[in-house]
Structure 1
Amino acid sequence: MARTDTRFREAYNDILTFCEALGIDASIPSETRLAEKVGVSRTVIRRCLAQMQDNGLISWEGRDKHLLRHPVKADRMSLPEAAQDRRDLEQRFLDWVLRFDVPANTPLSVAELSRTFDVPQHDFKEFLAGLSRFGLVSRRPQGGWMLLGFTKDFAIELSDFRSVLELNAIAHVVEAPVDHPVWAKLAELRHDHLALRAAIDTDFHAFSKLDERFHRALNSVVSNRFIAEFQKVISLIFHYHYMWDKTEEKDRNAAAIDEHLAIIDALEARDAEAARQAAQRHLRTSKTTLLSSLRHHDLG
């Protein structure tokens, strides 16, 4: 598959993801804005929009574009295996970092890591350049790259920034129209939380994935490319920490389920203040748990 076709398919799927958070008949942003959001040319965007129109996803007359239906799994385009590997490189690299295989301030060997992750050196350098905006890696003055590491200060800063993003998302959810897909997601999440709480004695380890789905649903309401980028690293780190410290894991996860349900209750009641307070309580708990996990690994 040609690289240009791969970029088209990736862009098309990215636009579908963006449209999942829109309401039916919502306006689709301009070609320029979509190009900036997805990181491709307007020519590629126009090709994506034409395909979406052909598939009955949008109406398109001149500059007016509206969402006719929400995308489903069958609408997504398949990607070549190599493209899928590049897409999950960030997750695999953070997995490696968060296993504490190397200390902070360790030089990174691009040649060695490109072999480890089975990625060409040029692509891995581009990946590190993109990851540097999160503060986990940086360029060395003498050339090459340095792993700055996942430290207590990094965890605190990330927790504080996460609070800003998620409280903003909570405010957006409260104001979401009744036909917004977030309400169906929250109803499904309520059912799954109650089911896991009933089976907490044996299935408590399943909370990490449920927690990820819950926070992804909240943040899906905010259409902001900057939030989407930072949400990747925030999501990975906050959900990986459930794997680090297994002490009192069942009780901790049971408490978190109740905190999630309190947020869902307040959101469905359209009680903005109660939702904000419930979210603040949960975020404080999550921050404390994260820092406790670091101390468990002698990083706190």
Structure 2
Amino acid sequence: MKTNTLYKRSYNQCLDLVATRTLGGDLGSENELAAALDVSRTTVRAVLDGLTAAGLIGIDKRAKRILRHPAPTDYYPDTETESVATTVEKKFMAWIQQGDCKPGQHISGLDLARQFGTSNSAIREHLNQFSYFGLLERRPNSRWVFRGFTEEFAEELTEVREMFELRSARRFIELDAKSPLWQELDRIEEQHVALLKDIDQRFMEFSELDQRFHSLINEAAPNRFMEMFFDVISMVFHYHYPWNKRDEKERNAVAIQEHLAYIRGLKSRDPERMMAACRTHLDTARASLLRSMEVRR
């Protein structure tokens, strides 16, 4: 399963590379592709076989010529390319958003493993990161206690979030035009536009899109500490938002519009325009989080 997931993820990433090249152009050597995809040459060869079978490239000795650009149907679905950790993260976030987890509540790792259809070790690894910040306390027999959040914790959290994201956003606008992150930004922009058009019926879908958008920004400046911290950020923000139902649809519509302005700022590569849109959105997110905490009191 792990190998199959790696192949599908690498295949999708290679499709992004194909999309940036001109028809008839060379895709590159196996070594170059292995470095770009961060996988072994064995995986690269399997991907190249798949691209050839799909009629995307033609191989003549060492040359790998682009025959056509990928269509959306050429990509494997996201659900087939996710790692176990990503799957657990999404299911845990959905569980958190149900609002059933309250301060002082006991959480069973075994129950979550059964509910999510994953191993207890995968659940334990995911929950461990929250214990580092004092949000969960580990107990014997795969049990945990949810400690909840304070306003002071939320203020400190948003300060660190803003520091990391502003840094990542600056790096994003410096990315090479051929970076796969730009193609992913295009897809996320399209999904924002589609969601905004159908906001009355689909406003509850924003949380997952919000998480993917900010995660993409942070990919421009990889940092192992931020990767762990990002899960905590998502948990805190998306745990509190559902408690304030009064204007949830309106808040999500505003956030989508701010995301779109933020995306336009990134695409402009204008530091001032990008920073203004980024700060506007982060300020709104901070205010929304603090208001949602007041509603819960």
User: Given the two structures, how large is their TM-score scaled by the length of structure 1?
Assistant: 0.66
**Which 5+ residue runs of structure 2 have no aligned equivalent?**
22-26
Q: 1:146 aligns with which of 144, 167, 173?
A: 144
Q: How does 1:170-249 map to 2 (within 5 A)?
A: 170-186=169-185, 193=192, 204-205=203-204, 207-208=206-207, 210-222=209-221, 227-228=226-227, 230-232=229-231, 234-235=233-234, 238-239=237-238, 241-249=240-248
Among residues 6, 10, 35, which one is paired with 2:5 in the alignment? Answer: 10
Residue 281 of structure 1: how far off its partner (Å): 1.9
Could you tell me how far apart the structure 1 residues matched to 2:198 and 2:77 are? 37
Residue 269 of structure 1 pairs with residue 265 of structure 2? no
Q: Secondary structure at the match of 1:90?
A: helix
SS across alignment from 2:128: helix
**What's the counterpart of residue 158 of structure 2?**
159
Residues 92-112 of structure 1 show CA distances to partners (whole Å, capped at 9, x for unaligned) of 333334444343344444444
The change in CA–CA distance for 1:278 and 1:20 in structure 2 (over 3 A counts) is farther
Q: Which residue of 1 aligns with 2:282?
A: 283
The code of the aligned residue for 1:101 comes to: D
Query: Offset at 1:124?
Result: 1.1
Q: Would the aligned equivalents of 1:97 and 1:149 in 2 still touch at CA under 8 Å?
A: no
Q: How does 1:113-124 map to 2 (within 5 A)?
A: 113-119=112-118, 123-124=119-120
Amino acid paired to 2:286: K
Counterparts of 1:187 and 1:126 in 2: how far apart (Å)?
32
Structure 1: unaligned runs, 5 residues or longer:
1-5, 36-44, 61-65
CA 1:168–1:13 in 2, change beyond 3 Å: closer, same or farther? farther
**2:129 is the alignment partner of 1:133:** yes
Report deviation, 1:297: 2.4
| Whole-angstrom CA distance in 2 between matches of 1:112 and 1:183 | 39
Q: Find the aligned partners of 1:188 and 1:34 in 2 and give their Cα distance.
A: 22
Amino acid at match of 2:251: R
- 2:109 and 2:173 map into 1 onto residues whose CA distance is 46
User: Partner of 1:151: helix, strand, or coil?
Assistant: coil
Pairwise mapping of residues 39-118 of structure 1 onto structure 2 (< 5 A)?
45-56=40-51, 74=74, 76=76, 88-118=87-117
Q: Give the 3 Å change call, closer, same or farther, for CA 111–297 of structure 1 in structure 2.
A: same
Mapping of 1:17-56 within 5 angstroms? 27-28=32-33, 30=35, 34=38, 45-56=40-51
Contact 2:137–2:146 (Cα < 8 Å) also in 1: yes
Q: Indicate conservation of the 8 Å contact 1:19/1:70, yes or no.
A: no
Aligned residue in 2 for 1:257? 256
Distance in 1 between residues matched to 2:84 and 2:209, nearest whole Å:
24
Residues 296 and 230 (structure 1 numbering): CA distance in 2 closer, same or farther, change over 3 Å?
A: same
Q: What is the letter of the counterpart of residue 168 of structure 1? A: R
Task: Give the letter aligned to residue 255 of structure 2.
Answer: A
**Cα shift at 1:279:** 0.6
Partner of 1:294: 293
Alignment check: 8 A CA contact 2:107 2:146 kept: no
* CA-CA distance at 1:285 after TM superposition: 1.1
Paired residue type of 1:271: D
Q: 1:161 to 1:70 in 2, by over 3 A?
A: farther
- Count, aligned residues: 273
Following superposition, the deviation at residue 28 of structure 1 comes to: 4.1
Distance 1:76 1:148, change over 3 A: same
Deviates more, 1:267-276 or 1:7-16: 7-16
> Once superposed, what is the RMSD of the aligned Cα atoms?
4.5
TM-score by length of 2: 0.66
Cα distance, 1:19–1:106 mapped onto 2, change above 3 Å: farther
For 1:259 and 1:77, locate their aligned partners in 2 and report how far apart those are by CA, in whole Å.
27
